Structure 1
């Protein structure tokens, strides 16, 4: 919104720069006012003793040296401004380390933060050394001109009357004594005037520093006036006012009409457009879920409602500010008691004026499932406990404190920006039901479709800035949910392949060498899981197949790779010479009844379909071994194949 460098270290502007400006301004009288008065006072006395020509010569000397110093004076104002900026950056980096020390430790980012803060420190110290080097050169020139030139020429000017008087032949002894006394008086006046002039010249550096502090304070005041101005353009550099939107207050609901959500920038209305012509309305006691991916502009809608972002076009109708409460993504906790966190942004006196007592706050904590906090100390006394609440409370507890603020303020509209992403699902469902019981109208900004069931409407924001408004329970909303279910099913299809790859990686982690045999076995495992997955999708299954294992041959994808497992026993299917029919008493073959189609449960219990570690038939295997999970037999075979070296070909 502003010049980034102008408000980069706003806290340093408010604290240190304002203090330096006030101190320099207060010292301005003592540095300039008193030397100026002394200069005028001593100049009048010297004029009476030296005459107009003598005092004129002294002032000509002063102005000449002042002009020389002005020409060689470094830009102390600019240097002081840069120094303040670097000090503010160094201060902010230290403050960032203090506030986020735990997170940095978790990420193990100590070395990176050390490098960054050392870089900022070195930049600041280099600039300070630069200022000191410039000061040394300038101070040498300044002291030489002020202490030696002014004094030497001053002695010359005050000795002229005595020198002219000594040229006379009839000078008496008393006259010489009087001239000597006059010379001493003039010398003292001249030295005092030179000292006043020197202090006046030294104060030029202070004035130069004051200009730097004044510039920063003026920048701060300019920014503050811009923010509070009615015609504030949010950094728009164009001359034409592009804020053509209209805001209607005290509306019994919330309404967006043809509003483009645009990021504030110097381009104004032509900036980046996040959402195109947003149009929806929400009445009292209704709820809406604004759903979208990260960065699509959900929080931007909240900023426009709160007035933090400009309204470039369209119409926004909203209730009064007292009837709305905003819950941002990052819960804010001030320095104070637990009571102060619940009633924020009101004070304890405001709470009493509303007729609210601590017992009411306890009831609010009970409603948001935080009453156990009072057990940490002796009951109500914990409300007076002062702690660093942003560190004491967990993420879910912080968000529940925000819901406690809703119950305390009791507004008509609530805007939740990812306000439940750290809360467990059961407490989350309870809190949304609580909002409905209290008859709040609420807007939820989230990227989780699971929250659809708690809302009356759905506003889904697309990636290209388009949007879809749906009423929950309508055919369109149901279609949207079914579409999401299909997307999840598509992602689950890759689970079988990933499971086989997982087994291969486990073997690598165990230190085994994965050769062609292992890869073949791994692929066999993937094929086995795929077969089971296909059977799961079969619509028709026969229930009595669970008691009779199938005697059908194994699928080819399982039988072929099993023969190449090195020393592991190959998989066997039913013997081809045995007829698949029963013989009648007359000797003629009679076709047997077709085997029932196996069900998924029988396949999972029968190792004959999955396991290839045994050479027995499928029926005998299923009767002699306990049931095993799909893929376990093949996995054991895989491990045996790895533990034994494959036979070398002669």
Structure 2
């Protein structure tokens, strides 16, 4: 039977994991320290960063050299005190020792300052770089559709700074402690080669144990980051939706969620404490053995008179400093696990930002043309993942100064059309003609309230616009918010607006922005849903007076009074465009009682009105109604309408499509 060779899978996984970690580190480090892409960093900034780094290295070398020099001064002092007993030499050596100690103090202070300054500069650049990627090409919006990236705000606020500070701390400490260990090992070698060899062997064994202890800590640190992020997010979620939770009296359920996530955080913290206990015991025991080691070896030699006390003291000091340097180095390796976690998460976040902003290949997208009007030309809109068709073969044009109202069942894609206009969704086919987005103002159902003053709220998004307080007061009067100034100390007061303004007041504040900016085009997504009919009517009348071209999404019948056209979206991705008058007539005819119903009325004008509705229903049909009367699909019926072709229904009547803007119906030939 042939021998089966089992591959060393753990070793392979470890190597691939290290390779991936190194790639992640390069992605974070290289653009700052060794930029290869044009425009990544200014050459002067790169030179400044390298100059500070070289100066830090020189300070560390000087610090280690001075520390080694102090060990010889210490040995010399002890020899003078014990053997020579020369007071003049003692004071000279003491002065030199004091100067060396003062120099060590200055070198430690300046090296730590320079280390923090380099880390701060790196953090500032890295934060600006990631933030720029986050806010460019609407990545901050698109990243929400990527389910494997959680808490992007935490990535930005909490996980960038530790990368720079940990990297500088580890690198500087590693260099300093390796130099110290090397220098003191040379000193020990000059005193006793046997002791130096034993110390090196002990160091190798200790490092292997330390690596084993830190491996589990690295995993725990990664889990700690995730559990803290989840716990922080659920608390933020409660603050954001405080009113809804209060209405539902959902405190108990929210408490269960918070306690569950906090329990996971505590469980992870206990595991970390246990492993850190093991590591601390090892570190302390490791140092203790090295501290007692020189006395065991050199003590008998001093008693026998075979070695001077100063030499023994220097050897003991060298062993002690060697142990201290090694302990700090091991501790840095332990914290490097957290560093690797931060690097991994930031690298994943950065890659995700690149992915969501990258133009997809081999997929159809809606072509966008910027002109001074708004039109859909044979547009078929799909969800961003191309899994669902929202509307099919849409063709319409909104004339300047007119209002278009989009209606339809909930979840049928009314707001999705607005996303297409804004360029947020472009999956599909066809051509979208729209003005530059700088000329379009979007008013969502839940207005966006910025963190700023009342003046900035009114001027957003063009907060640099110059407008007087008198003009702003007049705008507040127009939207029935004249009492708002009595609740704050003027236009330049910054307060938590989302907490002090109701949804209705926020919607009126959004309308105030419209009156301030005077956009050429306005998009309203149920922007008056929280207002009473009087306030809604007042705002829409002012909107009409601005002569802006506007598109609204809504369900209220009152909105028909302020629009000329209605676009109705159906469940089967079909659509129909008609005037408001025709839409009302169609709905009235659809909802009228059956013809055999007994309607008793003494008002002859009502009978006349009902008959007129019946006549209109017979004389003109929508695409959807023609679909029910024929064997053709909606798309085929729309195609024949656009080409001017006639259709014969199941009852053998022939119809043609009347393209008159006041008609837009199939009429019998």
Say if 2:359 is the partner of 1:242. Answer: no
**Please, which of 479, 484, 496 is the counterpart of residue 368 of structure 1?**
479
Query: What is the aligned partner in structure 2 of residue 563 from structure 1?
Result: none
How much has 1:175 moved relative to structure 2?
A: 9.0
In 2, Cα distance between equivalents of 1:174 and 1:90: 63
How much has 1:59 moved relative to structure 2?
A: 2.1
Say if 2:404 is the partner of 1:263. Answer: no
CA contact (8 A) 1:42 1:189 kept: yes
Query: Does the C-alpha gap of structure 1 residues 540 and 176 become closer, same or farther in structure 2, counting only changes over 3 Å?
Result: closer
Secondary structure at the counterpart of residue 74 of structure 1: helix
TM-score (norm 1): 0.64
Secondary structure at the counterpart of residue 190 of structure 2: helix
Query: Where do residues 229-308 of structure 1 align in structure 2 (5 Å cutoff)?
Result: 229=357, 231-233=358-360, 240-249=361-370, 251-265=371-385, 269=386, 271-308=387-424
Say if 2:439 is the partner of 1:310. Answer: no
CA contact (8 A) 1:75 1:208 kept: no
Query: Where do residues 184-223 of structure 1 align in structure 2 (5 Å cutoff)?
Result: 184-223=313-352
Provide, for residues 298-330 of structure 1, a one-character-per-residue CA deviation record: whole Å limited to 9, x for no partner: 111122222222334322221112100001111
CA contact (8 A) 2:379 2:430 kept: yes
Query: What is the aligned partner in structure 1 of residue 287 from structure 2?
Result: 147
Query: What is the aligned partner in structure 2 of residue 41 from structure 1?
Result: 183
In 2, Cα distance between equivalents of 1:264 and 1:272: 9
Query: What is the aligned partner in structure 2 of residue 324 from structure 1?
Result: 440
Query: Where do residues 14-413 of structure 1 align in structure 2 (5 Å cutoff)?
Result: 14-29=156-171, 31-51=173-193, 55-144=196-285, 146-147=286-287, 150=290, 176-178=305-307, 182-227=311-356, 229=357, 231-233=358-360, 240-249=361-370, 251-265=371-385, 269=386, 271-347=387-463, 350-352=464-466, 356-374=467-485, 382-413=490-521
Query: What is the aligned partner in structure 2 of residue 460 from structure 1?
Result: 568
How much has 1:364 moved relative to structure 2?
A: 1.8
CA contact (8 A) 1:457 1:472 kept: yes
How much has 1:278 moved relative to structure 2?
A: 2.8
CA contact (8 A) 2:366 2:428 kept: yes
Secondary structure at the counterpart of residue 294 of structure 1: coil
How much has 1:442 moved relative to structure 2?
A: 0.3
Query: What is the aligned partner in structure 2 of residue 426 from structure 1?
Result: 534
TM-score (norm 2): 0.63
Query: Does the C-alpha gap of structure 1 residues 138 and 181 become closer, same or farther in structure 2, counting only changes over 3 Å?
Result: closer
CA contact (8 A) 2:447 2:510 kept: yes
In 1, Cα distance between equivalents of 2:384 and 2:249: 36
CA contact (8 A) 2:414 2:553 kept: yes
Query: What is the aligned partner in structure 2 of residue 469 from structure 1?
Result: 577
Secondary structure at the counterpart of residue 415 of structure 1: strand
In 2, Cα distance between equivalents of 1:104 and 1:455: 37
Structure 2 residue runs without a partner (length 5+): 1-141, 605-669
CA contact (8 A) 2:445 2:528 kept: no
How much has 1:295 moved relative to structure 2?
A: 1.0
In 1, Cα distance between equivalents of 2:547 and 2:375: 19
Query: Where do residues 528-543 of structure 1 align in structure 2 (5 Å cutoff)?
Result: 537-539=599-601
CA contact (8 A) 1:333 1:341 kept: yes
How much has 1:195 moved relative to structure 2?
A: 2.1
Larger fraction in helix: 2
In 2, Cα distance between equivalents of 1:469 and 1:209: 59
How much has 1:406 moved relative to structure 2?
A: 0.7
In 1, Cα distance between equivalents of 2:294 and 2:201: 11
How much has 1:478 moved relative to structure 2?
A: 4.9
Provide, for residues 587-620 of structure 1, a one-character-per-residue CA deviation record: whole Å limited to 9, x for no partner: xxxxxxxxxxxxxxxxxxxxxxxxxxxxxxxxxx
How much has 1:212 moved relative to structure 2?
A: 0.9
How much has 1:30 moved relative to structure 2?
A: 5.0
Query: Does the C-alpha gap of structure 1 residues 262 and 76 become closer, same or farther in structure 2, counting only changes over 3 Å?
Result: farther
Figure out how many residues of one structure are paired with residues of the other and give that number.
460
Query: Does the C-alpha gap of structure 1 residues 190 and 462 become closer, same or farther in structure 2, counting only changes over 3 Å?
Result: same
CA contact (8 A) 1:21 1:210 kept: yes
Two-structure CA RMSD over aligned residues (Å): 3.1
- Residue range with higher mean Cα deviation, 300-309 or 465-474: 465-474
Rg: which structure is higher? 1
In 2, Cα distance between equivalents of 1:344 and 1:244: 31
In 1, Cα distance between equivalents of 2:384 and 2:514: 30
CA contact (8 A) 1:246 1:316 kept: yes
Secondary structure at the counterpart of residue 530 of structure 2: coil
